[in-house]
Amino acid sequence: MEEMNQSQQHQNSAIKPIIPIRFIVKLGGAAITCKNEFEKINEEALETVSLQLRQAMMSGSSSGKSLGMDWSKRPGISETPSVDEDFRDQPVFDSGSFIVVHGAGSFGHFQASRSGVHKGGLDQPLVKAGFVATRISVTSLNLEIVRALARECIPSVGMSPFSCGWSTRERNIVSADLSMVTKAIDSGFIPVLHGDAVLDASLDCTILSGDVIIRHIAEQLKPEFVVFLTDVSGVYDSPPTEPNAVLLKEIAVREDGSWFVVKPKLEDMNRQVQITVASHDTTGGMVTKISEAASIAKLGIDVYIVRAGTNDSLRALSGEIRGNTPEDWLGTVIRFVK
């Protein structure tokens, strides 16, 4: 209970950054990794996502060249990086900043599920080893995402929730000091967080998912909107691989957390909508996602779920979907209704 109070203090003292946060973007694990290949990044998808984030932030301000901020060795590329000092074209974030949170995809899940880290029990050698192994895997992915963003001239800085002091009790966040996130933003950087293995006051340890992290940051720092980039076009009424699957274009969330489909008008309003996405998110899948998204929407913050690397995702990141959803936009909007 003491820890709870301490956490409340932490949360209440969260200082909003001076630079407004335009959006939080979730890079879904399924969208940026090759889901069927162990610890394999989908380089092409990640590059497109990074480029779109740069485009979204530089709206109209530049068509200039992109000068990278990753000066490290890359496989197959000359060992001495050449650094061009002409950085005038880097994004200035005049329309606000953003925060990146990514999932694990084909990173981390093997290590976590093999050892049962999410169930806790650090006194068991296998769990402790799995905790270490999981963190190695997800921080490897974090580093590669920071590098991909930096190559697009986005001043990204990795922030690992475990080492930033995030912790849980019964899997609920009890401690999450956001002061470093806001300081990084006010210094002109883009924080990149991720789902992580963390300490848990009752279970010893557990897995804190990227979706839960996003909800927490959204509550504390109130971005204008939140974008979930995934590997399908949004939320469907049945598995999207099924021929009759219908994309739910707009979902409304009520004060009590319940939700209903606004668009399209479903023929049989009484049928049980079976929400699924082809997601390899073992930390909760779509049930967690919709519940986290609903919690965010309840704050009055629009949530967009959209396929990564499409014109639709670029429109969502650019804020074009805010207020009114264009008819030709493919994705799911989750909004609060009173």
Name the binding residues: 104-105, 109, 210, 231, 285, 289
Cβ 91 to its own copies, closest distance in Å? 10
Local structure of 47: helix, strand or coil: helix
Task: Give the residue, chosen from 43, 87, 287, 300, that forms a contact with its own copies under the rule CB under 8 A.
Answer: 87
- Closest C-alpha among 218, 121, 203 to residue 168: 203
Interface pick for its own copies out of 158, 223, 319, 331 (rule CB under 8 A): 158
| Position among 49, 57, 205, 232 found at the interface with its own copies (CB under 8 A) | 205
34 lies in the binding site for its own copies (CB under 8 A): no
Q: Which is nearer to its own copies, 82 or 270 (CB)?
A: 82
Residues 254-283 that bind its own copies (CB under 8 A): none
DSSP state of 187: T
Please report whether residue 183 would count as binding its own copies according to CB under 8 A.
yes
Q: 26 with 210: CB under 8 angstroms?
A: yes
Site size for its own copies, by CB under 8 A? 62
Among 133, 208, 252, 317, binds its own copies (CB under 8 A): 133
Burial of 255 by CB count in 10 Å (0-12 exposed, 13-18 middle, 19+ buried)? exposed
Among 14, 19, 34, 67, binds its own copies (CB under 8 A): 67
For residues 45-74, b (16+ Cβ closer than 10 Å) or e, as one string?
bbbbbbbbbbbbbbeeebeeebbbbbeeee
Report the C-alpha gap between 43 and 145 in whole angstroms. 10
125-151 vs 43-57: helix axis angle to the nearest 10? Answer: 60
Residue 302, beta-bridge partner list: 225
Task: Choose, by CB under 8 A, the member of 24, 57, 117, 199 that binds its own copies.
Answer: 199
Where would I find the H helices in the chain?
2-12, 29-32, 43-57, 109-115, 125-151, 179-186, 210-221, 285-297, 311-317
Q: Can residue 126 be called a binding residue for its own copies (CB under 8 A)?
A: yes
Pick the stretch among 54-62, 131-139, 268-276, 325-333 that binds its own copies (CB under 8 A): 131-139
Q: Are strands 196-200 and 204-208 parallel, antiparallel or unpaired?
A: antiparallel
Binding-site annotation, residues for ATP: 105, 231, 285, 289
Region of 285 (left: φ > 0; alpha: ψ -120 to 50; beta: rest) is left
- Selected binder of its own copies within 1, 60, 65, 88 (CB under 8 A): 88
Closer to its own copies by Cβ: residue 89 or 320: 89
Q: Cα 37 to the chain's mean position, in Å?
A: 21
Binding span for its own copies by CB under 8 A among 16-24, 48-56, 62-70, 96-104: 62-70
Spatial contact of 236 and 248, defined as CB atoms under 8 Å apart: yes
Q: Considering only residues 7, 48, 97, 160, which one is a binding residue for its own copies as defined by CB under 8 A? A: 160
Please report, as residue ranges, which positions from 162 to 181 form the binding site for its own copies (by CB under 8 A): 162-165, 167, 177, 179-180
Length of the chain counted residue by residue: 338
Choose between 157 and 245: whose C-beta lies nearer to its own copies.
157
Closest distance of CB 3 from its own copies, Å: 11
| Shortest distance (Å) from residue 243 CB to its own copies | 35
The token pair at 319 is 């804020």
Cβ closest to its own copies, residue 194 vs residue 298: 194
Beta pairing class for 225-230 and 172-175: unpaired
Residue of 61, 113, 117, 114 lying closest to 92 (CA atoms): 61
Which residue of 111, 168, 209, 295 would you call a contact of its own copies, by CB under 8 A?
111
d(CA 185, CA 167): 22
Q: Which residues in this chain contact its own copies in the complex, by CB under 8 A?
A: 37-39, 67, 69-73, 79-81, 83, 85, 87-88, 90, 110-111, 114-115, 122, 125-126, 128-133, 135-137, 139-140, 143, 146-147, 150, 153, 155-160, 162-165, 167, 177, 179-180, 183-184, 187-189, 199, 204-205
